[in-house]
Each structure stands twice: as C-alpha cells, then as structure tokens.
Amino acid sequence: MADPLLERLHEALARSGLKREARAWALLAAWALAVAGLFALLLALARTPVVQDLLPWRGDGFFRKALVTHVDFSFVVWFLALLGVLLAFAAALLPKAGPAGAILGRIAVGLGILAFFLMALPALLDRGLPALNNYVPVLEDPIFMAGLVALFLALGLVSARLLAGMVRPERARDELALAGAAAALAILVSLLCFLIALGQLPKGLDPANWAEHLFWGGGHVLQFAYTILLVAIWQVLSRLAFDQPALSPALYRAALFAFLPFILAAPFFYARHPILSLELKNAFADLFLYGLVLPSLVAGLGVLTCWRQRTQPGGAAGLALILSVLLYGLGGLAGYTLGPNDTRIPAHYHAVIGGVNLAAMGFYYAVLLPLLGRPILGRKKMAVSLGLYGLGQFLWTAGMFLAGLLGVARKTAGAAQGLDSAPKTIAMTVMGVGGVMAVAGGVLFVALILYGLLAKRSRP
Amino acid sequence: MRQRLIATLIAVLSMVLLAVMPAWWRQPKGLSYALDPDQFAARTEAMAKAHASGRSTETGQPIVRPPEGDVYLMARRWSWYPVLELEAGRRYRLHVASQDVVHGFHLSLNDAERLLVPGRVEVVTVRAEKPGRFAIVCSDYCGLEHNGMQAPLLVTDKP
C-alpha cells in the first residue's frame, strides 16, 4: 500500500478493531444499491404487459410502494451507509479508538442491518400506505417506520461516538477525521430537526402532509452530511489520482468550517417560524442556496486545479473525480435556473446526486477495496462503469434540462408529457438513452464492488 | 500565508452569508385570515353559480368569469375549483384556501406562492396586463396525485 494516507488508515483500522465495521457499512451500502436495482426491475415488470400478470403483486398500490422503497434504498440507505464508512474511518483515526467504540459500532451495524430488512419487507408484503414526500419517502406502516428509526438510530450512535472521541481539538488533525466529525454533526442536527418537527406537527395531520413536513428540515440538513462526504472523497481521490490533495490543509479546514454555521443554525428555524408555514419551508431552502455553494465550489476548483497540474493520468480515481466534479457543477448551475414544476428540477438533483455517486464509485475502487484487502478490480471494467454512468448521467441531465426549458412537466409519463414538438421529443430521447447508459454503468459498479467485497481477501 | 488568508476569507464569508440569509427575517407575504373551510366553500360556490361561463374540457371544472374585486379558489385533493377566467388589466383579490389537507399554491403569472393550511384563507393580488394562460400548481406534497394537481388561470381581453 504505497499511499501514506491508505497506510495510515490501514494501520488505524487494524489497531482500533474497526475494519470489520467499515466493511459492514461498505457492504450494506452496496447491498442497498442492489436492492434499489431489484425494486427498479420490479417497477418495470409491474408495468410490462403479460409479465405483470405473473407477479404476485397487483395494481398501482404495489407500484407506488416499490417506488418508495427504490428511492429510499438508492438515496437514503445508500448515502447513510456510506457515511457509516466515513464515520468508522474517522473513529479509527482517533488516538484512543478502543474496544468500547468497536462494541458501539457493532450495535450500530446490527441496527443498520435490521433497518435494511424492515424497510425492504413491507413493499414485498404489499403493506403500508405510500407517501412520495421529499427527502425520505415513507410507507405508512409500523414495520417500515421501525426500520427507518433503526437506521437513524444506528447513524446517530456512530456520530455521537465520533464526536465524543473528538472533544479535544488536537485530535482532529486528520482530514478524514475532520470530515467525519463535520458529517457526524450534520447527522445529529438533522435527527434533532426530525424530533423538533415531530413534536411541533399538529395531531391528526394527514399522513402525506405529516411525512413531508416531518422530513423537510432534517432532510435538508442531511444533504450537508452528503456534501461533506463528497468534499472528503474529492480530497482523498485527488491525492491518489494526481499526487496532491484538492485543497491545502488550511483551505480544506476552511471549506469544512463553512458548512458548520448553516448546520448549527437549522434547529433555530423551528423557533423562528411556525412548523406549517411557507417561511419555514423557504428557510431550509435558503440553507442550500447560502450554505452549500461556497465550500463545494472551493473544493471543486481545487480538484480542477490539481487536474490541470497533473503529472500522471490518474486512473479510475482520476476519472471518477473529474466526472464527479463536472456533473456536480452542472447540477449546481442548473439549480439556479429552475422552473416551478418542469423537468429542470429532476435534471438538477439527479446531476448533483450523480456527482456524489461518481465520487463514491471512485472511493470504492481506489480506497475502500484496496484498504479492506479485497481483490483489485480490472482497470478496464472500472473505467467502463464510470464512463457509462458518468456519460449517461450527463445525457440524462442535458435531455431533462432541455425538455424542462421547452415546458415539459416533471413526473409525467406517456401522453401527459405533452411531447408536441420535435425538440421536446429529441430532448426526452436523449434523456432516455442517457438513463439506459447510467443504469448499465450502475449495475456494473454494484456487481464489481459486491464481487470485490464478498470475494476472498487479497494481500493488503 | 496566501492560503491562510484565503481560508480566513472563506470562513468569514460563510458567517456573512449566514447572517444575510433571508431565512432569519422573511415574514409572511400578503394578507391571510381564519375561516371555516365549509364557509369558504359556500362563498366559492356562490361565486361559481353567479358567474359560470362554461366548463373546462381539460379539468372538468366549471369556468367562472367573476367581476373585478374578490374572487375565490378552493384547493382540494387533487384539483382546484373552479377554473378562473379573469380580465386583462383588471385587479383581483384572489382568496385561496384548502378544503381538506395542507396544499401549496403557486401561480406562474406573478410567481406567488402560499402554503394553504385548512382553516386559513390566503389573499393574493392578481393583475395580468396581457391575455394568456397561466399555471396554478400545488407546491406542497399532498398525496399520491400531488403532481397532477394543476389548473389553468385564464386571462382574456375585455369582452
């Protein structure tokens, strides 16, 4: 293991006994994508003539439940489990990481696995009332809700463990430990926001309204945790790909610091505005506009500078990094030109999420698998998965954005889309081709990392 | 040294951005008042009966052409009642309220947005200078057909 960062992490994981925990979170994240893919397949089959009659589930009810489960696994479980990896790494890098922390980590992983099954099961059993609300869509079902609580509790536990271990500032030197602490803070504040909203929401509120307003505030804060993860991955991948970190230590700390005031401010919005008010909704939207742009812009520019000054090709880490920065940047720019209800909105958030996903793909290939002593995957396969997913997401975003500019409404299908002109049809066709490419790249990625994580260990 | 200076600037800028964020000082826009949903429905129905001018083939709702002044629009899962046809150049006070659950109101004509909590009526001033067709959409998730909760606001020339 030539890279000093990976060597330090490898030693820290072995010393702290947190290697198994990191692998468990990495596996949970990978399985989350696999389950999301399975539900995507079921969604397609449930609308395919003849085949739909062979499935044990009938009608629109199952379709919506499968959609909720698909979104939760491809977005919430996947990202939270990835944060679990970061938090395990960060905890291992602390000087006093010890057996008590490892036991707490095992409890958290157990809760995460329990959550996984509890959240996947209700849709398959055709249980619960679906709500396709923002950030954390839910099934109104006790089993599903218990799973969601277990997942949040798991992440809350490992976040609290890390912050408790970092009470002295001199311990927060390592860049991954710093990012872990910032992400842990964002997770705990988002959980606090959920609790405040739970306490403030009036009794008897309609379940759809309840879910939307319960997860609105904390859901926004969770995006800060995901963005901190992104900045940390860019920093690490840049070092591996181009032999220098995206940001100098001082700039990296400043970028992470820039997230914190907005994270800490979030709970106070509930004291400033009523829970059911447009002002509260917009206050959380302001968090994105004012709080996410500066640090991610600084980190993105840092990556591009390293790329310009590169002396080596960069390999899979470099490809993932550049595609991630470009797609995330495109999504960010698209966010400033949104219409009220057209396809520019999904173009924006799919590009941003795609940017985080590409960074995560590079993280698995260049950091996680080598660090866990797993077989090194073929370069060509890694490049193909990254290229397919990245290019596919670019096409998808471009098609959706163009269609939105031309007035195509979001979340519509078939005749309801109103594709009454050639440019609209071309835009949506580009979107469709990009979607197929991105799915192919994603499936290849999941297959590769599951193979890597489940295969026999190679020499570290 | 230069890196440290930039880092300090980033940290300071983030604090400035936090301080100037509208989230702290944003106040409710326009007028709103409390009214029982049934009473609001009665007012809307009375307006619809008095000024009906046809039926929308798109939404199936009656088209209503009220005179300048107070007009009423009711949100209910997952439609807007009735379809309003207003006259260009005239000023209207649009009273909008929900009959059942929490909805969001967004009007593309003037980018007006309100949260509709049952039991409260929101008042939006509407004045279109030119004839056209503008979109009213629900902007707060209200159930499975939320994305389909759309209606036109028709603005026509003087008769």
In-domain check, residue B49: yes
CATH of the domain at B65: 2.60.40.420
- The pLDDT > 70 percentage for chain B reads 99
Q: How far is B50 from chain A (nearest CA, A)?
A: 33
Q: Which amino acid is at B92?
A: Y
Provide the pLDDT for residue A385: 95
In-domain check, residue B98: yes
- Among A71, A244, A277, A286, most B C-beta atoms within 10 A, so best to mutate, is A286
Chain A to chain B Cβ contacts (< 8 Å): 131
Backbone angles phi, psi at B55, to 5 degrees: -135, 135
In-domain check, residue B14: no
- As to burial, measured by CB atoms within 10 angstroms (0-12 exposed, 13-18 middle, 19+ buried), residue B100 is middle
Q: Which amino acid is at A390?
A: G
Provide the pLDDT for residue A460: 46
In-domain check, residue B4: no
The C-alpha angle B11, B13, B15, rounded to 5 degrees, equals 75
DSSP labels, A123-153 = HHTT-SEEE--SSS-EEESHHHHHHHHHHHH
In-domain check, residue B54: yes
Provide the pLDDT for residue B29: 76
- Among A220, A256, A290, A292, most B C-beta atoms within 10 A, so best to mutate, is A290
In-domain check, residue B6: no
Provide the pLDDT for residue A422: 80
Interface touch A294/B17, C-beta < 8 Å: yes
Question: A175 at the B interface (CB within 8 A)?
Answer: no
Which parts of chain A sit beneath pLDDT 50?
459-460
> Which tens digit of pLDDT belongs to each residue from A46-71?
777 777 777 777 767 788 899 899 99
Residue of A nearest to B4 (CA): A250
Domain that holds residue B44: 27-156
The domain total for chain B is 1
Cβ–Cβ under 8 Å, residues A265 and A213 = no
Provide the pLDDT for residue A418: 65
In-domain check, residue B105: yes
Q: How far is A156 from chain B (nearest CA, A)?
A: 26
Provide the pLDDT for residue A421: 78
Question: A250 at the B interface (CB within 8 A)?
Answer: yes
Residues of A in Cβ contact (< 8 Å) with B8: 254
Cross-chain CB nearest to A269 (options B23, B100, B137): B23
In-domain check, residue B100: yes
Instruction: Give CA separation, A129 vs A36, A138, A147, A337, B124, in Å.
Output: 19, 8, 15, 34, 34
Provide the pLDDT for residue A168: 65
Q: Which amino acid is at A119?
A: M
Residues of A in Cβ contact (< 8 Å) with B114: 278
**Is beta strand B83-87 parallel, antiparallel or unpaired with respect to B62-64?**
parallel
- Total Cβ atoms within 10 A of residue A327: 26
Provide the pLDDT for residue A315: 86
Which parts of chain B sit beneath pLDDT 50?
none
> Which tens digit of pLDDT belongs to each residue from B107-129?
989 889 999 999 999 999 999 99
